[in-house]
């Protein structure tokens, strides 16, 4: 990895967001570093709750072309940012695309459920969360795995 990019990442991780962004902004002019520089800019903005700026950087990173792992990170970050900005329908569509492309990425499901909740799709949000818990139970929820799967499909079931 380029040492300038490493330095910018280290500054971001130390909370030196402005300094990090200055270095990263300069790297966006270099074609081989452009996509990663924009991705790390987006994360820097996200770390400070500057979602509007993060959105533009995520889009620029995706437009510049990323490898598969970084594309996942950029799409996941963008979907989460859109949810935070109240762009719930856009976020929902992107979360669904991510879950299709990376079904093993279980970290996406809780954020997708939040988005569904924000859209007023409460039953579906609960179903997503219950299915996630049933799919990855801990020692305390494991005994309830089957019933959680059932309720994920039938959250309104009454006896």
Query: For residue 16, how many other CB atoms are within 10 A of its CB?
Result: 15
User: Contact, 78 vs 62, CB < 8 A?
Assistant: yes
Quick: pLDDT tens for 51-63.
Answer: 999 999 999 999 9
**Domains in the chain, start-ordered, CATH in brackets?**
1-66 (1.25.40.10), 87-158 (1.25.40.10)
At residue 155, the pLDDT reads: 87
Angle at 132 between CA 131 and CA 134, to 5 degrees: 65
Condensed to tens digits (0 to 9), the pLDDT of residues 121-137 reads 999 999 999 999 999 99
Q: Are 28 and 60 in contact (CB under 8 A)?
A: yes
Q: Count helices and strands (H / E) in the chain.
A: 9, 0
pLDDT value at residue 157: 82
Task: Please write the tens of the pLDDT for every residue from 2-39.
Answer: 999 999 999 999 999 999 999 999 999 999 999 999 99
Exposure of 112 by Cβ count < 10 A (0-12 exposed, 13-18 middle, 19+ buried)?
A: buried
Report the chain's mean pLDDT, rounded to a whole number. Answer: 95
**pTM of the predicted protein model:** 0.90
The pLDDT tens digits for 60-103 are 999 999 999 999 999 999 999 999 999 999 999 999 999 999 99
Buried-state track 68-77, b at ≥16 Cβ within 10 A, e below 16: eebbbbbbbb
């Amino acid at each position: 990895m380029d040492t300038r990019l490493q330095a910018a990442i280290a500054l971001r991780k130390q909370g030196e967001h402005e300094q990090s962004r200055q270095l990263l902004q300069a790297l966006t002019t270099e074609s081989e570093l452009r996509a990663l520089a924009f991705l790390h800019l987006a994360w820097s903005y996200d770390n400070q709750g500057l979602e509007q700026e993060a959105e533009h950087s995520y889009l620029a990173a995706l437009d510049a072309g990323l490898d598969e792992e970084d594309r996942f990170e950029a799409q996941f970050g963008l979907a989460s940012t859109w949810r935070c900005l109240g762009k719930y329908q856009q976020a929902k569509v992107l979360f669904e695309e991510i879950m299709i492309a990376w079904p093993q990425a279980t970290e996406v499901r809780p954020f997708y459920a939040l988005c569904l909740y924000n859209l007023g799709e409460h039953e579906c949000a609960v179903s997503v969360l219950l299915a996630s818990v049933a799919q990855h139970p801990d020692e305390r929820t494991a005994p309830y795995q089957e019933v959680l799967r059932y309720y994920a499909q039938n959250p309104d079931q009454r006896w």
